Amino acid sequence: MSNTPIFKAFCCSSLGTKSLPRCLQPTCFCERTSVGRQQLKREGKSAVRVSAQVMEFAELIKTPRVDGVVLHRPFLPTVEGTLCLTGHHLILSSRQDNTEELWLLHSNIDSIEKRFVGSLGTIIVKCKDLRVIQLDIPGMEECLNIASSIEALSTLDSVSLMYPFFYRPMFEVIEDGWNSFLPEDVFKDLESMTDEWRLSEVNKDFSVCQSYPPLVAVPKNVDDETLKKVATFRHGGRFPVLSYYHKKNGMVMMRAGQPLTGTNGRRCKEDEKLINATLRPGKRGYIIDTRTINVAQQAKARGGGFETEGNYPQWRRIHKAIERYNILQESLIKLVEACNDQSHSMDRWLSKLEASNWQTHVKEILTTACLAAQCIDREGASVLVHGTEGTDATLQVTSLAQIILDPACRTIRGFQGLVEREWLQAGHPFQQRCATSAYSNNKPRQEAPVFLLFLDCVWQILRQFPCSFEFSESFLVLLFEHAYASQFGTFLANSTAERTKLSLPEKTVSLWSWVNRPQELERLTNPLYEANSLVIWPSVAPQSLLLWEGVFLRWNRSSKCLDEAYEEMVHIIEYNKELQSKVNSLRRQLAELETEDPLLQTP
Amino acid sequence: MVSSVERPPTIPAGSQLILRCKDFRVYQILIPQERDCMDVHASLVRLSRPEKYSELYCMSFNPNVNKEEREDSWKLIDLMADYKRMGVPNNLWVSTAANSEYRVCDTYPSELFVPKSATPAIIVGSSRFRSRGRFPALSYFHQDTLAAVCRCSQPLSGFSGRCQEDEMMLQAVMKSNPGSEYIYVVDTRPKLNAMANRAAGKGYENEDHYTNIKLQFIGIENIHVMRSSQQKIIDVGEMRAPSMTDFLWGLENSGWLKHIKAVLDAGVFIARAVADEGVSVLVHCSDGWDRTAQACSVASILLDPFYRTLKGLMVLIERDWVSFGHKFSHRYAHLDGDPKEVSPVIDQFLECVWQLSEQFPCAFEFNERFLIAIHTQVYSCQYGTFLCNCQKERRDIRLHERSHSVWPQLWKDRAEYTNPLYKAEQSQSQGILRPNTTPYCFKMWKGLYNHMEKSTPPRQSPSDYLSTVKEETQQLEEELINHQERIAALMGKPITWEKIEVPRRRTSHLGQRHCGPDPPSTYTHPITSPTQDNGHALSSEPVNQEAQTKDPALSLPLGLHTHLKSQDPDDLSACSDLESGVADLSSRSSSGVDEGKDPNETASPPPDWKSKGNH
């Protein structure tokens, strides 16, 4: 397989403003002309599947198009036009040049509401990116049909029906994002710093741990047999693996699932051996348990538990209080409700904000990350982080600690690598967590804004250190959007095992392929950035932590003035740079002239 | 600046004093000898409560200038020039001599503008019907709509009282706005308070007696409520290691942001009436020197871009606060007096301006530091500007002869106070501001209320960074011109001043910018650009990519640019000047990052986290 496939195919997303009528066919996504052998081969294979699924979508779409629909969006003029439903998109176009169309992925729709006044129906579409739009649809029947179609299309169960499987990039893929952050490449960097670690293939067929990637970094002197035994002692088979190596002092951060001590205080010599192998002689390490001591105690009854002092004398355990995912989801719902509250009462707003507890979670997560970073950088101690499963709070802590400690993670590419390593490959169940957002009426099952909270925390640090990050806030917002609904396959599925099974790298495009192109990178770059090689210690005082307006108030208030300010800021910096180079050129020219004409030389 | 001195119990190391300052800083002083400590305490207690104006610092403060310079200092801000700027006097509003020698109203300035049709008899009659004689007078005239903002105090109406002259006065205000058929009377108090005042023979205008007025209550609380509210928010700022819940609950419980919102809402109401409806507004509260001053000045800020400049804000404060008799001495406890008279009235005005600057980052010529500097000066009495309670009092103690004005000093330091994002020609710097006053748009003003946080290493501040960049840009521009001239000269056109040395003063303070006591200005990062707002569904659209905005001003004059580019760019290192430029660039790196500091201060894992290790 080529690393840089060049697709020049067309699908529904490629139809410009003028060619809308073609979109009126709900099956437009298969209208492709392909160039290149690769693509031809793929076409052949997928043709059968696609046509079968076209049928499936067609059944769901009761009314493919309605004319005279009025769209209301926050801070944008209303648009009247034709509404079309395709297999994956809700499209509204005025069919005039120069007017923007609405293309909304069905998978972005969190919930819808219907209202009727006479024969005029109104559908309120609430999206996972927290936007709320309103569609006025003439005709009761059309409205009901559209509503039920949207409902069906936005809640498709099968992953393989998702848009990323149908999307073909309209841009040239310079670098296939699926291969950009492979564990073996990351390990090469580690090898250049230390020889104490090795890359184990023990999980190459995902039999030891379902949620781990095939390759993980473990202490060199611990063999695969030991790892297998440890895996049976850790929740979900998540034996301790390397998360971060602190170059400055050689300390490490590891992560794992909780030890399965149970009420009997089961112990596992191999587990003790494994984590002790990461300590320098005579050194102690810290175990950061993201749960409170009470929660950890209760976990024993369900077979879980924590490392006791007796069995792990070289480790000191610290309990923190990061909430579990179901509580976080509730928090998100309350926060978004507070932001959408129309009353103008300050007391009400502040008490709702407080009651949502969102900011408390942000503070708690950041505090724990600071603690981990402090143990490593200040105490010169290695750290093991875990909660219950080790797939949520654990990852928040390990990834944020790296933002604090490692300047590389504050670059655009480094941050992608961090998300790839500490979230995607580390087995954060994106599909489960991001199935619904704040507006869904369904009872949450495994949904939770764990990743959003992580992004929020990164934003807080970015806001406090606006010159130390190569990327701007828009990159974080972009990741939030794509985690919930995307044309790219990056955030599909729950683990590397599932991604492999679904052949995502072959069948879908990676978000990184899109992001790592000059024109996108330019848009995501922070103009204030100046590489800062230091550890950055964020303040976690409540006064320093603000509500992330870029996400939570994004659709509630106009960003015009702030955008203007941003442009002005960019302008000031760019102008300075241009001037700098111009002056330098002149200086040189002057120097040349002066040497040519010694009589005029200035003293 | 000392507002209170506490002497907690002696500890082995010595005796302590805790000084609470009027700018909300708190200092802890350790004095080894208890005796000394008691002496210092006694002195401070006495000295921090001066009883006479002559004891105040401004009366002895001598910034080493001569008499002329001192007199000039008082002339920097010229109110008459500002009235002229807004087009007054004209055929609608005229100057009145009624209050010369402060005969009609002793707390008003001597020079005032009133409707043309208001005769001295009407003015005097109206003033008798108004609390403290504060009759309706012009605060701001809006040239675009010919509508005006006027101010006065509450009418002495009681339950049924009326006054023909006062009714004629309001009629005259309306008539001075040819385009409208009514005026708004904005009573900035909560309606209940206004009604209660009727029992004391005061109250509000009866809409039956006055033709063509629309009465509007705003609901700004009185000075006593504000005083205790501010104390609560100061306490919130001083909380040690609060939880998020403590903090948000404290914020809510203080009610402070609610009051700020009320003041801003009053300004928004007035500005809309004047600009959108073209209707004149008469503003009053009880005495017309606290809430009225707030509402009028906020409205002026919203209506007129001039007041969003450094000079403009000075003029505005001089007019609506100083000249119209805001009781600075009482409100800010310059002299030992009734603690019930103290209230953070101008604090709230300054905070409203700060909240606006957060919403409109390019609209104000000044930055947060300027507002805080004014706040400090209001309390400190280093200069005479904010002394006394009204113009008459200032004249009586010959203030202008005995002290200096603060404005020239602030003007001199204007480089410190300039907002790098301000651009006069930008849309938010022009016309009326329409702020969003939804509760979530208000933030706690950390720069003022959170000195604790400030004492830790300041964070990186984009606005300081930008100021430095702009400063450098200016130098580069000068250098550029210079080079061009010299090149022109070398090319054969002899210019006499060709030897002028390029002013390449790279100031050494670049690297230290963030070490001073100044607050790090907060800067809200802009929300994602509009192109992204369409969401990812659109992002695969080629159409969308074209929407990337490029500032055309970024590109250089093309001819010169290409010409220069054609030279060998690799030769740069040969030039030592360039190297110095590069070095300067790196030194301005605005890092608030300090690795050497104790992380317990900065990264706030609670210092006692170790104890939590054991269960």
DSSP B302-314: HH-GGGGSHHHHH
CA dihedral over B263, B265, B268, B270, signed as positive or negative = negative
How many CB atoms neighbour CB A156 within 10 A? 18
pLDDT at B505 over 70: no
Q: Are B259 and B221 in contact (CB under 8 A)?
A: yes
pLDDT score of B89 more than 90? yes
**Rounded (10°) angle between helices A325-339 and A358-377:** 130
Dihedral of the alpha carbons of A217, A222, A226, A230, in degrees to the nearest 10: -50
Select the residue of B465, B479, B602 nearest A467 (Cβ to Cβ).
B465
pTM: 0.85
Task: Report the distance separating Cα B64 and Cα B409, nearest Å.
Answer: 13
Question: Is there a contact between B213 and B205 (Cβ–Cβ < 8 Å)?
Answer: yes
Q: Are the C-beta atoms of B389 and B53 separated by less than 8 Å?
A: no
Facing A532 at nearest CB: one of B465, B480, B591 = B591
| Cα dist from B390 to A507, A532, B102, B115, B383, whole Å | 78, 53, 10, 23, 16
pLDDT at B453: 52
Residue A313 CB burial class (10 angstroms; 0-12, 13-18, ≥19):
exposed
Query: What does residue B95 show for φ and ψ, rounded to 5 degrees?
Result: -75, 145
* A552 min Cα distance to partner chain B (Å): 10
Closest CA to B133 of B289, B330, B327, B328: B289
Instruction: For residue A596, give every residue at least 6 positions away whose Cβ sits within 8 Å of its Cβ, in sequence order, or none.
Output: none
Candidate list B285, B352, B388, B390, residue with the active-site label: B285
Q: Which of B242, B440, B529 is closest, CB to CB, to A339?
A: B440
CA–CA separation, B63 and B412 (whole Å)? 13
Does position B456 have pLDDT exceeding 60, yes or no?
A: no
B267 annotated as ligand-binding: no
Q: What pLDDT shows up at residue A54?
A: 60
Show residues of chain A in contact with B540, CB under 8 Å.
13-14, 167, 169-170, 487
The mean pLDDT value for A125-134 works out to 95
Half-sphere exposure of B561 (CA within 13 A, CB side): 8
* DSSP conformational letter for B498: G
pLDDT at position A597, please?
Answer: 64
- Which residues from chain A sit within 8 angstroms of residue B454, using beta carbons? none
- When pLDDT is cut at 50, 70 and 90, the band that residue A540 belongs to is very high
Does B557 contact chain A (CB < 8 Å)? Answer: no
Residue A241, both tokens: 């693996």
pLDDT tens track for A265-304: 999 999 999 999 999 888 899 999 999 999 999 999 999 9
Token pair 């749960």 is found at: A291
Is residue B612 a contact partner of residue A292, using CB atoms and an 8 Å limit?
no
Please give the full DSSP string across A522-557, using - where no structure is assigned: HHHB-TT-----S------SGGG----HHHHSTTTS
- Verify cis geometry, omega within 30 degrees of 0, for the bond prior to A313: no
- The amino acid present at A265, given as its one-letter code, is G
ipTM: 0.87
Mark residue B398 as left, alpha or beta (left: phi above 0; alpha: psi -120 to 50; beta: remaining). left
Joined tokens for residue A186: 């990351």
Which H helix or E strand runs over A254?
strand A251-255
Q: Per the CB < 8 Å rule, is B490 touching A594? A: yes
What is the tens place of the pLDDT at every residue in A546-599? Answer: 999 999 999 988 888 888 888 888 888 888 888 888 888 888 888 888 777 655
When the pLDDT of each residue in chain B is averaged and rounded to a whole number, the result is 79
Confidence of residue B489 (pLDDT cuts 50, 70, 90): confident
Q: Chain A neighbours among B 501-540 (CB < 8 Å)?
A: 523-540
Nearest CA distance, A91 vs chain B (angstrom) = 10
Asked whether the beta carbons of residue B476 and residue A167 sit closer than 8 angstroms, the reply is no
Amino acid found at A390: G
- Say if residues A299 and A305 touch (Cβ distance below 8 Å): yes
Q: HSE-up of B507 (CA within 13 Å, CB side)?
A: 9
pLDDT in tens, B226-238: 999 999 999 888 8
**Residue B537 dihedral angles phi and psi, to the nearest 5°:** -55, -30
Sequence-separated contacts (24+) of B189-194 with Cβ below 8 Å: B189/B217, B189/B218, B189/B219, B189/B220, B189/B222, B189/B285, B189/B286, B189/B291, B190/B217, B190/B219, B190/B220, B190/B221, B191/B217, B191/B219, B193/B222, B194/B154
Query: DSSP string of A90-145?
Result: EEEE--STT-PPEEEEGGGEEEEEEEEETTEEEEEEEETTS-EEEEEEESHHHHHH
Give the H or E element holding residue A377.
Answer: helix A358-377
Evaluate if residue B345 carries a pLDDT over 80: yes
Q: Report chain A residues whose CB lies below 8 A from the CB of B435.
A: none
Q: Do B421 and A568 touch (CB under 8 A)?
A: yes
Of B48, B441, B448, B27, nearest to B234 (Cα)?
A: B448
Distances (CA, A) of A320 to A364, A397, A498, B242: 8, 11, 31, 16
Instruction: Check if B285 is active-site.
Output: yes
B562 touches chain A (CB under 8 A): no
B432 touches A at CB < 8 Å: no
Within 8 A of A563 by CB-CB distance, chain B residues are: 526-527, 529-530
Q: Residue A598's pLDDT is what? A: 59
Under DSSP, the state recorded for B532 is: G
What is d(CA A491, CA A485) in angstroms, rounded to the nearest whole number? Answer: 8
Calpha distance A28→A13 (Å, rounded): 9
CA distance B531 to B550: 12
Q: For the segment B192-230, what is each residue's pLDDT rounded down to a tens digit?
A: 999 999 999 999 999 999 988 999 999 999 999 999 999
| Cα–Cα distance, B315 to A572 (Å, whole number) | 29
Q: Which residues from chain B sit within 8 angstroms of residue A535, using beta carbons?
A: 593, 595
Residue B277, φ and ψ in degrees, nearest 5 = -95, -15
Mean pLDDT of A113-125: 91
Q: Which helix (H) or strand (E) holds A72?
A: strand A65-73
CA–CA distance, A105 with A491 (Å, rounded to integer) = 15
Tokens of A431: 């599909």
User: Taking a C-beta distance cutoff of 8 angstroms, is the pair A392, A368 a contact?
Assistant: no
B601: exposed, middle or buried (Cβ count in 10 Å: 0-12, 13-18, 19+) = middle
Strand partners, A116: A121
The percentage of residues in chain B with a pLDDT greater than 90, rounded to a whole number, is: 54
CB B301 within 8 A of CB B267: yes
B14-72, pLDDT tens digit by residue?
Answer: 888 888 888 888 888 888 888 888 888 888 888 888 888 888 888 888 777 788 888 88
Position A463 pLDDT exceeds 50:
yes
Burial tier of A551 (Cβ tally within 10 Å: 0-12, 13-18, 19+) = buried
Tell me the count of A-B CB pairs closer than 8 A: 346
Query: What band does A177 get if pLDDT is binned at 50, 70 and 90?
Result: very high
B361–A565 CB contact, under 8 Å? yes
Contact across the interface for A542 and B484, Cβ inside 8 Å? no
Look at A189-198, A575-584, B225-234, B405-414 and tell me which has the smallest mean pLDDT.
A575-584
Q: How far is it, in rounded angstroms, from Cα A594 to Cα B23?
A: 58
- Residue B477 forms contact with A (CB below 8 Å): yes
Helix (H), strand (E) at residue B112? strand B112-115
Q: What angle do CA A54, A56, A60 make, to 5 degrees?
A: 110
